[in-house]
Amino acid sequence: MIYLCRHGETFHNREGRLQGRSESDLTPLGRAQAAAMGDLLFDLVRRDPPADWRIVASPLRRALNTAETIGARLSLPVEIDERLVEIDVGEWSNRLREEVRGENPHLHGDDAWGFHAPGGETYEIMMARLGAWLAEQAAEPERRLIVVSHGVAGRLLRGAYAGLSKAETLAQDIPQDAVYRLMAGQIDRLDCAPVTEPA
């Protein structure tokens, strides 16, 4: 079983910037979202011995900080797996999303537009690394994992798990206030308790 989370909101998210592999810290709302994920997961996994669970995260700070918040709630250490890192958007990294889209009108309406970044990662390369990670977990179905990754990476992980087409994969939601349960070939969205920006 896998519980898949996206990191909480970052300052780049709030500003509408493409993050890719660049670093951006969690906002106060993002930290509250991470805590809400921790509370939800605590309720979901508390029936099992804590030692049965592992938390694995992307090495990027926003995912790692979210995972550490969840780990503190569950009293579990956080492991890092480089394969869970977000898409590399190459020369578009840190740029405003609308600015990039304005410069590339031919990509309007293309859900895969982020994979066209100069010097960036293609859908096929990213799906190969995430698919390999997922296949490794499937080889040991008794594993119980809490995974903290990213928006695009999370879409591709769910798409690979469910056997979705490229279009279906990229059309999926990427919430920062929900957890996805991947179990027995099924994917369920579990919403966290609502949170607001701390005063």
E strands in the chain: 2-6, 53-57, 78-80, 144-149, 178-183, 186-191
Cα 152 to Cα 70: distance, rounded to the nearest angstrom: 21
Q: Is 12 a catalytic residue?
A: no
Which secondary structure element, helix H or strand E, spans residue 143, and what is its range?
none
> Of 9, 15, 82, 86, which is the active-site residue?
86
Q: Which pair of structure tokens corresponds to residue 71?
A: 């780990």
Among the listed residues 108, 112, 58, 70, the one whose alpha carbon sits nearest the alpha carbon of residue 89? 112
Q: Is 103 a catalytic residue?
A: no
> Of 7, 9, 12, 121, which is the active-site residue?
7
Among the listed residues 123, 133, 112, the one whose alpha carbon sits nearest the alpha carbon of residue 56? 133
Active-site positions read: 7, 86
